[in-house]
Structure 1
Amino acid sequence: MKLLLDWLEHRRTRWPSTANLHLLINNQTTNTTGRASNHWISAAPRGQDATLEELRVDRRIEEAMVKGPDPLHLAEVFGLDEKTTMRYADSATALLEQSAETRPAS
């Protein structure tokens, strides 16, 4: 989460008046509304521990755990199909149940 917040701060500082709504932008896309190229996006995290796909999955699971494992919410937020949202909702439910089981009793 800190990495994302740091990127957003950098993005705000570097391109304060961009109209581009995409999370990942660069010098070529800051004056447009298009997304950064696949090459630019995949080149940036090289040498890092996480891949872009792992970050996508992590973000979706986190959303399902924070907002509740509601497939309709996940479909609306991420534009995912029914089967995919159900998998994320089921995974979040299992993680939430596992977390509840491991918490010490009060």
Structure 2
Amino acid sequence: MSPRDIRWLVQVDVERAALEERWGASEVARDDFAEWFCFAFATAEGEAFVLLREVAHPPAPGFVLSVTKGLFSLEAADRIVRRLDVAGAQITHTNAEAAS
């Protein structure tokens, strides 16, 4: 998945430890700006989504959920967060473009 193929959709209040307990250890991805804890997933339909959190200086608690074009909706974000199957995970902020 290329970074230009995904857009941030929502911020999810969820602990890294809870994600790792459910889904295994996070990967660490690097770009020109920072290192990121990363959980990446693909759907059977070929879409993808990723949960990201800056390693050193996260600006907010939780993870950013970024998605490919076919998942860019608040309905998809709700489904993804439910299917993460992590107690207490909830959406805290949304991309205004997805809300319109």
TM-score, normalised with respect to structure 1? 0.27
* Structure of greater Rg: 1
TM-score, normalised with respect to structure 2? 0.28
* Greater RCO structure (CA 8 Å; 6+ sep): 2
